[in-house]
Homo-oligomer: A and B are copies of this chain.
Amino acid sequence: MSKTSQQIAEICGVSRGTVDRALNNRPGINPETKEKILQVAEQLGYRPHFLAQSLVKGSTRSIGAVLFDINNRLFPQLVNAIETRASELGYFLYLTLTNKDPEKEKDCLQHLVDRKVDGILLLSVNKGEAFEQFLGKLNVPVVTFGNLVSDGIPFVWVDDRAAIRDAVRHLAAQGYEEIIYLSPPMALAGKTNLYAVEQRYLGFEEAIAETPGLLTDIVLHKGYLEEIDALLRRGDKKKVILCTSDKYALKVLLHLKQKEIRIPQDVGLMGFDNIDTLAYISPALSTIAYSSDDVGTQAVDLLVDRIAGRDVPMRTTIPHRIVQGESI
């Protein structure tokens, strides 16, 4: 069915070596023979055999992405950015999804390595020394984002701590006297890699330490709607709910609307991520924005640098900014 360099060689009455020189324009070939070979190849619709080529070259020009959490609204933007940049740089993308299963994540990594990908982009749920060793043994460049795995693996992300600190300062400056900090994923602390979530929490602790007068409530579990109801009934301070992701902020918003609690008159509300669903929400949600495109693009750039053997920074921080909506 498909043509081989051998066939071209036969037609042109030369050897495969010569055909190879023509096709990959390497020196040491008569321009005329080269011309002829290229013509024949063209007309035969010759396409190099990727597997054979990769087998001998040891490079596949493909990268693997291992992601969890398709539900996160960042996903499409991230995947888009990754695929686009990879494609620009001549790489193909294997996409694998782990659904937050640590074992499946390891499986995906191993299988990608088996397929000889040149590098891997990883948004991990695994962590710890055993996992770091596992990654090391894979012997392939890895770049992480979202959740840090190791200080020795390049990591691209927002400075979550600083972002939350900024948010708290911003809320305090707006005259809020009590902050309800909402981060249900923290309930899984210790069970899975929650680096980003934990960093945000640390940022919150730091911020309240530097703002003595501020009252705080911390809600880190599934039954958060009930607890918020209870908290809102208590006291008469000017309150705001600070959510560590827009997803939860939106759930809270829906809940408050149903209870006819007004935002921001009765309570303020702030999210994190600036997911694009927000464009359709009213009141416009205040949130922390950053470019998920940048995360994806930079991660690919770093990975390709590593593949090429270049040194890359272990931390790449994507800038964030506070988006002032109508909800605070």
Residues of chain A at the chain B interface (Cβ within 8 Å): 1, 47-52, 54-55, 60, 62, 70-71, 75-77, 79-80, 83-84, 87, 92-97, 99, 110-111, 113-116, 139, 250-251, 253-254, 257, 277, 279-282
A114/B50 contact (C-beta < 8 A), A95-B93, A97-B87 known: yes
Q: Is the CB of B282 within 8 A of A254?
A: yes
The 6 closest A-B pairs by CB, nearest first: A70-B80, A51-B55, A95-B95, A250-B280, A277-B277, A83-B97
| A70 CA / B87 CA spacing, docked (Å) | 15
Residue of B nearest to A113 (CB): B47
Extra inter-chain contacts (5) besides given A62-B115, A83-B97, A250-B280, CB under 8 Å: A48-B114, A51-B116, A70-B77, A79-B95, A92-B115
Q: Is the CB of B139 within 8 A of A1?
A: yes
Residue of B nearest to A280 (CB): B250
Q: Provide the residues of chain B in CB contact with A51, threshold 8 Å.
A: 51, 54-55, 60, 116
| A97 CA / B97 CA spacing, docked (Å) | 17
* One of B71, B80, B253 near A97 (C-beta < 8 A): B80
How far is the CB of A10 from the nearest CB of chain B, in Å?
21
